Amino acid sequence: MLEKYIDWDKVIIELLRNRKDNEIALQNLRDQYRSISQAMESPKTSDFTKDPIIGSKGAGEDAMVNKLLQKEAVEAKIRELTLEERRYLRAWEGLGDEDRCILQEFFQCEHRSSQQAIDSLCDQYGYERATIYRMRANALKRFKRLLAG
């Protein structure tokens, strides 16, 4: 029901623009997961430079439970981003070279404005601006169809 209120073009454009950020986030999460796993494997290591914690008997158990919960949360986020990455790559591979070039020029070249992207594509393909805009709309439509079905 709510799907009719979602601007899917905007969602797809944001996905294209945030591609690099998502790759970096996935790598950071994998590093964090590795770090948590290593910390859980060697719980005996302590930092003796800090004052000892005085208080509850189960402080060590609480820390282990917190690490386990943190590990599960990171693992779930990794699964989510990995699934998103697979879908993205499958849709990206389904596009033709021309569509990929157009989408990259418009949405993935951070230093470019839309005007620069249009000028570059006009020079590259020898088409008018209106044709480039239609090619952009068609490329977005194909990518959206490949991504979402």
Domain range annotation of the chain: 16-42+59-94, 96-149
How much is the pLDDT for 11? 85
Query: Regarding predicted confidence, which is higher, 106 or 64?
Result: 106
Mean pLDDT (whole number) for 37-55:
62
Q: How far apart are CA 33 and CA 37, in angstroms?
A: 6
pLDDT-derived band at 48 (thresholds 50, 70, 90) equals very low
pTM: 0.71
